[in-house]
Amino acid sequence: MIILFAGPRPDHRDDWMNICILGAGAIGGHLAARLDLAGASVSALVRGAALEAIREKGLTFQNRDLTHVARIAASDCLDDLPKPDVVIVAVKAQSLASTASTLERLAGNGTPIVFALNGLPWWYRQQLRQRFDVTEEVPAASDEAALSGLVPLENVIGCVVTSANSQTAPGVIHNELPSANRFVFGEATGRMTDRIQRLAELVTKGGATGQAVQTLAPDIWVKLRANVLAASFACLTGLDMQALMSFKDLHKPALDLQGEVNRLAAACGVQLSLDESTLDPTRYSKHKPSMLQDLEKGRTIEFDAVPGATQSVARWLDIPVPTLDIVAALLKARAMTLGVYP
Ligand SMILES: NC(=O)C1=CN([C@@H]2O[C@H](COP(=O)(O)OP(=O)(O)OC[C@H]3O[C@@H](n4cnc5c(N)ncnc54)[C@H](OP(=O)(O)O)[C@@H]3O)[C@@H](O)[C@H]2O)C=CC1
Ligand SMILES: CC(C)(CO)C(=O)C(=O)O
């Protein structure tokens, strides 16, 4: 079931939902702005230069159609912020472990926690392990090891984000394509609930596309397939999305990679077909995928959550993924050489 909300922007503040964003970078900042525009009470658990900037000047969100300055409560201490009805986590996957004690505390109070990250989510990997009786141990340093057991699945809401953004200065978020901002919410338990419908409604009121779905797995796999391809190829070549897809020599390996991810998705119950339209450069902007943004800034890349986690599923299910293995090996070598592999 898919529920899509569309409605006018309200001119009043809804008091019924206090939403705390943990990690107000590109995606967390985008969501904070949308929810503020929708009238929710938004706060941010944020640190460093971004905290100073948001306190002094507010959080600035801009694209070619809109500039919005959200005056939101911000702190690096949860106790300073209003008690949240829901928390949205939008850190990089390799930073999830650093949020574990905060999330354990929130989950202990029964607070719903939305995970708005790329890659195969820790909670979905946990479900796949159980479903396929995977005996391989959970890697000790992984987000899955840090969070499973601390955050019960009843508290977990997944969010698949399709939206191109970057943080251009602390507390300043640039959104690349105003017409392509989609946030899909789904319960880890696979139920349709009021809370995911409310989140979708707020995001839509804030001017993006919000959806609530009963089963998030199809969206997870479609987005994973796009990221495995775009993020890996971009990091290997340094090209933005439009330039990448304009380079026709990449189309054959891109389709091979798509086919491999499709086979993994099918084994997990999600049927996908090859989508050649994703290779059309006119669909894209000059956005550099967030993984390339990190690589260029010398920050650790989301290798483990994106190509790495995809390879793990292939090994669990004994499905060959030769193209993915080559791409992942090259990416890992490049990331290690640059010192950005975890
Ligand atoms: N950027 C994009 O266009 C898209 C990104 N995504 C995905 O969204 C997720 C978030 O990415 P993105 O927004 O780009 O990442 P950013 O790096 O822009 O933002 C992450 C923020 O989280 C902060 N953070 C990390 N750990 C903590 C912590 N323990 N407490 C408080 N703050 C913390 C970081 O602060 P600090 O800088 O101090 O480390 C940073 O400000 C990723 O999984 C990404 O792949 C999905 C679709 C598009
Ligand atoms: C490519 C893109 C923008 C798609 O939403 C993305 O996921 C990223 O930059 O990480």
Residue 280 CA to residue 189 CA, distance in Å, equals: 35
Residue 298's pLDDT band (boundaries 50, 70, 90)? very high
Residue 115 CA to residue 318 CA, distance in Å, equals: 28
Q: Does the structure show a pLDDT above 70 at 197?
A: yes
164 vs 342 pLDDT, higher one:
164
Across all residues in the chain, what is the average pLDDT? 94
For residue 160 and ligand 1, the question of a CB distance below 6 A is answered with: no
**The CATH number of the domain covering residues in 2-214:** 3.40.50.720
Q: Does the structure show a pLDDT above 60 at 4?
A: no
Instruction: Decide yes or no: CATH 3.40.50.300 for domain 219-338.
Output: no
Q: Over range 249-271, report the average pLDDT.
A: 97
Q: What is the pLDDT of residue 15?
A: 52
Assign 165 to helix, strand or coil.
Answer: strand
Q: How far is the CA of 25 from the centre of ligand 1 (A)?
A: 5
Q: Which of 45, 19, 28 is nearest to 201 (CA)?
A: 19
Task: Please choose from 91, 103, 303 the residue to mutate so as to test ligand 1's pocket, defined by most ligand atoms within 8 A of CB.
Answer: 91
Say which residues have a Cβ less than 8 Å from residue 315's Cβ, sequence separation at least 6.
136
For residue 31 and ligand 1, the question of a CB distance below 6 A is answered with: no
Q: What is the pLDDT of residue 14?
A: 52
Residue 210 CA to residue 220 CA, distance in Å, equals: 15
Q: What is the pLDDT of residue 342?
A: 84
Instruction: Show the tokens assigned to 38.
Output: 């929708």
pLDDT tens digits for range 109-122? 999 999 999 999 99
Q: Which ligand is nearest to the CA of 90?
A: 1
What residues form DSSP beta bridges with 253?
A: none
Q: Over range 324-342, report the average pLDDT.
A: 97
**Encoded amino acid at 162, one letter:** T
**Domain map of the chain by residue range?**
2-214, 219-338
Q: How far is the CA of 114 from the centre of ligand 1 (A)?
A: 14
pLDDT tens digits for range 86-145? 999 999 999 999 999 999 999 999 999 999 999 999 999 999 999 999 999 999 889 999
pLDDT tens digits for range 5-54? 333 334 444 555 899 999 999 999 999 999 999 999 999 999 999 999 99
Task: Please choose from 286, 287, 292, 299 the residue to mutate so as to test ligand 2's pocket, defined by most ligand atoms within 8 A of CB.
Answer: 287
Classify 29 in phi/psi space as left (phi over 0), alpha (psi -120 to 50) or beta: alpha
Q: What is the pLDDT of residue 6?
A: 35
